[in-house]
Amino acid sequence: MQSGDMVLTPTGLRFMGRRFPCAIGKGGVSGDKREGDGATPAGEMRVVGMLYRPDRIARPAWWAEPIRPTDGWSDDAGDPAYNQRVRLPYAPSHERLRRADPLYDIVLLTDWNWPDATPGAGSAIFLHQWRRPGFPTEGCIAFRRDHLRWIAARVVPGTRIIVSAGMAGALSR
C-alpha cells in the first residue's frame, strides 16, 4: 500500500492519516460483484473523476466537473453505454446524477468495471454523501458531508481505493 491510498477497514476508510466512518453496500463486501446485488466490490479501484452540484456547492477541486440537469448513468447491462455517463432523457435503465437530495452533491467516480464494462459485473461504484450514519448504499461507499468535502479537496485522479475481500461483514450495515 502507498501513503495516498484509501483503504477500507472495519472501522471506516483510512486516507491521508485520517479515518472516516462510512457506509457500504447493503450486500456487504463481495468478491463476485453483480449488478443489483447491493454489494461493495472487493478489490482495487481508482478514482477517475469527480462530479459536483454547482448550484449547491463551490467546486471542491480544480478537476471536478459540474453535474448538469441532463446527466445520468446507465445501469442497464444490455445497453451499449452500460456503466457510462449518459445524457437524459435516456430510454435504457439509468440513474439520475442530479438528485433532489444531497447524496450526489459531490461524487467521486471509480473505475470499477469501467471504461470497458462487462455486462452484469456492476455499475456506478461511487464515493458520495451518506443518508445517515450506518445507512447502507447500493454498493457505493458513503460518508458524512464534511468528511466527503475534506476527502474531495485532497484526492487526486488515480488514487487507489482498496477493499479487502476479508471486509465482508466487518462494517455495520
Q: Write down the CATH number for the domain with range 6-68+95-166.
A: 2.40.440.10
- pLDDT per residue rounded down to tens, the chain (173 residues): 687 999 999 999 999 999 999 999 999 999 999 999 999 999 999 999 999 999 999 999 999 999 999 999 999 999 999 999 999 999 999 999 999 999 999 999 999 999 999 999 998 999 999 999 989 999 999 999 999 999 999 999 999 999 988 775 555 43
pTM of the model: 0.94
Helices (H), the chain: 145-154
**What's the pLDDT score for residue 2?**
80
Share of the chain above pLDDT 70, in %: 96
- How would you class 145 by CB atoms within 10 Å of its CB: exposed for 0-12, middle for 13-18, buried for 19 or more? middle
**What's the pLDDT score for residue 171?**
55
**What's the pLDDT score for residue 65?**
98
Query: Going by C-beta distance under 8 Å and a sequence separation of 6 or more, which residues neighbour residue 93?
Result: 74, 75, 76, 79
- Taking only the tens place, the pLDDT of each residue in 94-116 is 999 999 999 999 999 999 999 99
**What's the pLDDT score for residue 166?**
75
Average pLDDT, the chain: 94
DSSP codes, 86-120: EESS-SSSEEESS-SSSTTSEEEEE-TT-SSPPTT
Give me the phi and psi of 84, to 5 degrees please. Answer: -135, 155
Q: Can you say how many angstroms the Cα of residue 106 is from the centroid of all Cα atoms in its chain? A: 10
| CA separation for the pair 117, 119 (Å, rounded) | 6
